[in-house]
Amino acid sequence: MPTQENNQEVLRVENLTKKFIGILANDNISLTFNRHEIHSLCGENGAGKSTFCKMLTGVYHPDEGKIFVNGKEIQFQAPADSLAAGISMVYQERNLVGHLTGAQNICLGHEPRKGGLIDEKAIVAKAEEIRSRLGIEIPLDVPVEELGAGQQQIIEIIRAFYGNPSVLILDEPTASLGEGEVEPFLDFIRSLRDDLGMAILFISHKLEEVYAISDVITVFADGRHILTSPKDKLSQDECVKAMIRAGRQKTIVVPKKDFTNAEVVLEAREVSYDGKKHHVPMKVRKGEAVGFYGLVGSGRTETMETIGGIRLSDGMDVTFAGERITKTEPVQMIHRGFILTAEKRINGAFPGLSVEDNICNLFIDKLSSKAGFMYVEKMLAFAKKILDKNEVKYTSIDQNITELSGGNIQKVIIGRSIELDNLRLLVLDEPTAGMDLGAKSEVYVKIRHLVDDESKSVIFISSELDELLTTCDELCVFYDGDIVAQYSREEFNKEQILADAMGGRKGEKT
């Protein structure tokens, strides 16, 4: 734990300001980060957290202000300068190459060479050296795609240690970890603080986690620094109040419903992919929200990608909207009214295109003439309507989608999907990852609106059990590719569901 003498300042910023056209993304921020300290940065989507970190990592140049590392002012011209000064960042979207080993991933881009050729032995030695410095046991000689999500995240962090940093920035590092993986991962982060004396800047929307791990908490709102406080002196209520604009957190009401005679939209018994048959008995009815819970890699995403034609199927026993499906293509499924929003939001966005085109491209039929000419005014009005309805924070409808904050990109992707006229079943895969509390509650309300008021069906895949318990009518638990248990709302039992997800019913048939 930190003590007076060991938490000296390692990084300080004074009056950092960053403007984009039409927005003050960081307004005159002054902050200090100390060794032996985990300092969390909290704030709503678009509050300015990523912009701040991008100035620390040399991706953006501040318009005003100064950065000091170990008391010395430094001007970063490029990310390499920030790395050389000892600041390293692990981004939210995982950046590993699946078929390469842990060691190869750790050295990717900096491979030691011998006589001009990549020196595989030196790669293993270098990766091993960093691993043992961090004091962690993890296999470095297997392709990373064979590791669990938690272990992959640790490989990402080992990679961030290539340049021996003294400040480590972690952006939503637990976003893709399952329930059982979070605690060991947080222990690892604590050990980086305690054993190596690192200053850790931790960004998370999960308040419980922020309170479990932080020594100091800073809150940003609308690009401004609202407060910095030792964790023990800031209650969770005060923290939430500082972050959230009044009234943004919405209450979710789940009405009691009887689905006995409701039309079955999706019925599945078995799906096969990657050469293996999986037992996935489920019925999703009209007007029903079904939660899929399980550890990362338990088959929730894979099952729905196979049914949606996105993943190659080796056969399946599935009926959708009264039609037997064995093999299919994504376009056919979309025509049938099956829409899936991907887990990694970047897979759902068209990164080279504007905000407007990202919305309108799904509605070309509606927004163009028979000859294929787009109705410019209709497009603009339609895109604006979706942005307003979903409270997306943007500066111009023409800006590139990648300029929006992560949570706001997600709002666009979900917002446009639910406008599709023929929508029958919406599959949302980790829709709230990276969203702030207010935005999360808006997603829950949207799900309930779709099922209760519009009689659509929703499958909600999440690693956060609490949000499924709050929002869904029914819950399916996945383990090792199979659905191992199903619960209706009256039967929800958190402990039992967690036990099922850990393999407590292995071998039993549902």
Ligand X SMILES: Nc1ncnc2c1ncn2[C@@H]1O[C@H](COP(=O)(O)OP(=O)(O)OP(=O)(O)O)[C@@H](O)[C@H]1O
* Contact residues: ligand X, CB under 6 A: 20, 23, 25, 43, 45-51, 393, 395, 403-408, 434
Question: From the CB of 42, what's the least distance to ligand X, in Å?
Answer: 9
Closest CB to ligand X among 61 and 389? 61
Question: From the CB of 243, what's the least distance to ligand X, in Å?
Answer: 10
SS3 assignment for 450-500: HHHCCCCEEEEECCCHHHHHHHCCEEEEEECCEEEEEEEHHHCCHHHHHHH
Question: From the CB of 40, what's the least distance to ligand X, in Å?
Answer: 13
Closest CB to ligand X among 63 and 403? 403
Closest CB to ligand X among 57 and 328? 57
Written as six digits, the tokens of 158 are 């080992």
Burial 144-181 (b: 16+ CB within 10 A, else e): beebebbbbbbbbbbbbbbbebbbbbbbbbbbbbbbeb
Query: Burial level of 268, CB count in 10 A (0-12/13-18/19+)?
Result: buried
- Location of structure tokens 């199927």: 313
Helix (H, G, I), strand (E, B) or coil at 260: coil
Question: From the CB of 385, what's the least distance to ligand X, in Å?
Answer: 19
| β-pair type (457-461, 474-479) | unpaired
Question: From the CB of 419, what's the least distance to ligand X, in Å?
Answer: 22
d(CA 18, CA 62): 5
Which sign does the torsion angle of CA 392, 394, 400, 402 carry? negative
Q: Work out the end-to-end distance of the chain between its first and last CA atoms, rounded to an integer number of angstroms.
A: 47
Closest CB to ligand X among 47 and 450? 47
Closest CB to ligand X among 299 and 406? 406
Written as six digits, the tokens of 457 are 């069906």
Closest CB to ligand X among 23 and 226? 23
Identify any residues that bridge with 339 across adjacent strands, giving them in sequence order.
426
Closest CB to ligand X among 186 and 437? 437
Question: From the CB of 398, what's the least distance to ligand X, in Å?
Answer: 11
Cβ(367)–Cβ(382) below 8 Å: yes
d(CA 73, CA 418): 49
Question: From the CB of 352, what's the least distance to ligand X, in Å?
Answer: 14
Question: From the CB of 91, what's the least distance to ligand X, in Å?
Answer: 11
Closest CB to ligand X among 23 and 84? 23
Count the neighbouring beta carbons within 10 Å of the beta carbon of residue 329. 11
Instruction: Please give the angle made by the CA atoms of 147, 465 and 428, to the nearest 5 degrees.
Output: 80
Closest CB to ligand X among 104 and 405? 405
Question: From the CB of 348, what's the least distance to ligand X, in Å?
Answer: 15
